[in-house]
Structure 1
């Protein structure tokens, strides 16, 4: 939690200011972008505001901009033929401080400082405090914004309270929009279409270049209209290569007031993410197919400062805190390879799994429980979904009467498997596990020895990329050379970076999208036109 002095200092230097001296103050003002002379461009179209992306952040930004200044011409463009981005297929649960649901269950001691502390604990010092503070202070504002624009909340969760306490949160504060992300996107799109005649939504428009003039101001973009994204390629990022995907006609848009980049993450871009961390190439991604680096690449090319590209967030089909009851086994060697508790660090466990898979031609590892482990589960609901085969791709769990049946199902050597489990049981009995797994955390589940047995292929799901363009508290990207805000540009949602750090706390990505979407929308509407 930030100290009072820290907050006072942030206010003193301005929340929108960089926390280090800009390089321009040191006389280092060379440009990292190719400047564009506006007189040399034959503009095909013009608008006051261009929002790129139709997920929660983009639609929130567009609506806020339109309501801040109803005279603006606002275009919202998406490269896909289906609107909504990854938000459409996400749950978009949200940690909200001060919601009516929270008050109804008698939680009166929650505040933004507690939420800030919970986020920062997961961030491990990688986050930019001024951004985390903006998010933590504005959760109720986002809740109210969504409510005012038609979003309803699911009161069936939390045993009919509409609110739950999720892992990493010090208080019950997480709410669920009705029908998840689909419900949110449907309502926001409907509001734009019915209430905001100055907002135009376009599909199949790919942004390829961001144009900045000699002063560094963003003045427009180069796009491909009529672009068609091919979902049938192994690596979706091939669509970003014009030599592979030739669709679309080149156009130039004059953006008179401001560009809002809300293009999401790059989870589906195998080549881009593997360039940062090679074993990430084979990680399963849960985002929509179009979540490639087509948004971050033009931002980097235009001199937007990228940060945290080597940070990412894994999710599993089952809760991370319920992995420890079992053992993770390499199916070929039948050996364990990691402490399944690992301080409940989902990133460390996920990386260990990917590293082990790389040794065996990317074959999935197997997570094995006995009945004692299953009885120890925290989240019985997700466990039952896995047992019923309803927990999404790769989320199935099977029940076996014997280890022989389990080994046959996963094509494992049963004698080697039994030897590995015997070794684990003996070491755990003495609290001397070879990987340091603490017996004290396991209670009655400190051995794998009681039939029936349960097993699943556990694969980390890459569901969030912390990396993107570094922004300030006004949602402005910073120039990679000068560290100063880039005039005429805003970035929000997963395309932006700095709020979370090492790992994003659960139920907070929707906050980042919506809150900084509101910030970007309000500020872009107030920008003075360059022409």
Structure 2
């Protein structure tokens, strides 16, 4: 189904509340198969996926004059970007210049490396950081406005742009710009099944239009056969902006321990079908065993509280650890005890939060059942709510307070200072606050290995696979073990932009 830009914009606004297929070893479609029909339509560039990376790729390609097709398997655009704040770490932004802030791409990548566990690709990360100001300019030219510039956790400089309207505001502005480009076709409810290859490389896609995604199926990529099969040709290339695979528990069950104890903040369409199609086409996967977790509260603010095993009433980790370490510890506790662990704060601790807005959102019940922070007048009332022994909890808090007063953490050795602020003992009188320690799987660091132009690299020899670009979360290896706060947006927006620029400069094939 081809959707007019005007019709699409109405549905996109409404969707925001405002107005693979088969086994991994299945064969890839070949352009010279005797049974293959001619292409149903031919474009210069086909973009698969409509989150921020796909949207940027489609806009940049269309702006260049390329006949561009943007497809999305769900019946609405946006993917996981729809649910993201899309805070944007940007070096050399207009706001930085206006405030006289000195910053460099190297400094940003150094910050990213501190949480990467030695697994990040520094060259590609630097390429992203060096192009963030250019990506910001493209977004500004398409109506995106920024309201704040912040220094967020883990960053050595004030470089994180906050958009008006958050992530939804960014997408609304960019989608509204689709009206400018009559050479851009947008097709929701269109699922990629396979990439089409010939001896020159990737030449198109096999898709199903009128596709009805079904989250109730054990494996939508394998079990859902809805829609009409079409073959679309791409003279200059296919840009895969298909995101991660964090919803595909069947695919990841052997990689992520305790997966059944996680929730998920990704789009329901975040499955592994597109990744499998790229691997079948000969692209090289990288770091598929890595994962990134988050919580309803910023992990940076766990340091001010006390993480408790509900079964024993005792602490179970250093609250200053990184997000993945805390997530895995929380999942282990939940699996062994059968109870949800939780973290305790008092008013003084909340005052130390770098993002008190997230706490306010949780207190208002806006983060879901397992993301709600509860307020209690007494520690005993908190203990009853989380089904733990009040005496054991009180003893744990007393021992913790004695340690903090002595300037140490004898149990787990957690850091007692962050960003110039010192950890304080938990008060003896209320109010007290508690929130479940439910890890959310929110990002897949692994994906397809690419070069600095976002070209997919071959599994066979590491050279570029002609006709295929991979951007955003669909590409792997840039961030390493963990992705720093506010660094998804620069990755997605910059690689989408760079892929489109590279594709439009490639030679056109005769299809």
TM-score by length of 1: 0.84
For the pair 1:229 / 2:229, whether they are aligned, the reply is no
Shift of 1:423: 4.3
CA distance in 2, matches of 1:329, 1:300: 42
For the pair 1:138 / 2:118, whether they are aligned, the reply is no
For the pair 1:62 / 2:58, whether they are aligned, the reply is yes
Q: Which moved more, 1:139-148 or 1:327-336?
A: 327-336
For the pair 1:397 / 2:373, whether they are aligned, the reply is yes
Mapped contact 2:446–2:476 kept (Cα < 8 A): yes
**Which structure 1 residue ranges, 5 or more long, are not aligned?**
1-30, 155-161
CA distance in 2, matches of 1:65, 1:257: 11
Q: Hey, what does 1:270 align to over in structure 2?
A: 249
Aligned residues: 481
Shift of 1:447: 4.9
Q: Hey, what does 1:86 align to over in structure 2?
A: 80
The counterpart of 1:373, out of the listed 345, 349, 364, is: 349
CA distance in 1, matches of 2:458, 2:432: 55
Q: The residue matched to 1:141 in structure 2 has which SS?
A: helix
Q: The residue matched to 1:175 in structure 2 has which SS?
A: strand
Query: What does 1:38-49 align with in structure 2 at a 5 Å threshold?
Result: 38=32, 40=34, 41-45=36-40, 46-49=42-45
Cα deviation digits, residues 337-367 of structure 1 (max 9, x gap): 111122xx11111111112122234x42111
Cα deviation digits, residues 225-273 of structure 1 (max 9, x gap): 2210124x2xx7621122xx23122232232221110011112222223
For the pair 1:436 / 2:413, whether they are aligned, the reply is yes
Mapped contact 1:237–1:293 kept (Cα < 8 A): no
Q: 1:226 to 1:480 in 2, by over 3 A?
A: same
For the pair 1:238 / 2:219, whether they are aligned, the reply is yes
Query: What does 1:90-101 align with in structure 2 at a 5 Å threshold?
Result: 90-101=84-95
The counterpart of 2:48, out of the listed 37, 48, 52, is: 52
Mapped contact 1:237–1:292 kept (Cα < 8 A): no
Shift of 1:429: 5.5
Q: Hey, what does 1:163 align to over in structure 2?
A: 149
The counterpart of 1:191, out of the listed 177, 187, 197, is: 177
Query: What does 1:340-489 align with in structure 2 at a 5 Å threshold?
Result: 340-342=319-321, 345-361=322-338, 363-391=339-367, 394-426=370-402, 431=408, 433-438=410-415, 443=422, 445-447=424-426, 449-489=428-468
The counterpart of 2:111, out of the listed 112, 118, 137, is: 118
Cα deviation digits, residues 163-220 of structure 1 (max 9, x gap): 111111111111122212222222222222x2111111111111121222245x1122
Q: 1:501 to 1:444 in 2, by over 3 A?
A: closer
Cα deviation digits, residues 488-510 of structure 1 (max 9, x gap): 11011111112211211111111
For the pair 1:253 / 2:232, whether they are aligned, the reply is yes
Q: The residue matched to 1:433 in structure 2 has which SS?
A: coil
Shift of 1:471: 0.4
The counterpart of 2:475, out of the listed 457, 479, 496, is: 496
Q: Hey, what does 1:331 align to over in structure 2?
A: 310
User: RMSD of the TM alignment (CA)?
Assistant: 2.4
**Which structure 2 residue ranges, 5 or more long, are not aligned?**
1-24
CA distance in 2, matches of 1:183, 1:468: 27
Q: Hey, what does 1:179 align to over in structure 2?
A: 165
TM-score by length of 2: 0.88
Q: The residue matched to 2:297 in structure 1 has which SS?
A: coil
- Structure number with the higher strand fraction is 2
Runs of 4+ in 1 over 6 A off after TM superposition: none
Mapped contact 1:52–1:77 kept (Cα < 8 A): yes
Cα deviation digits, residues 61-88 of structure 1 (max 9, x gap): 11212222x2x33211110001111122
CA distance in 1, matches of 2:240, 2:183: 19
CA distance in 1, matches of 2:454, 2:48: 14
Shift of 1:427: 5.2
Cα deviation digits, residues 137-179 of structure 1 (max 9, x gap): 111101110011111222xxxxxxx211111111111112221
CA distance in 1, matches of 2:155, 2:327: 21
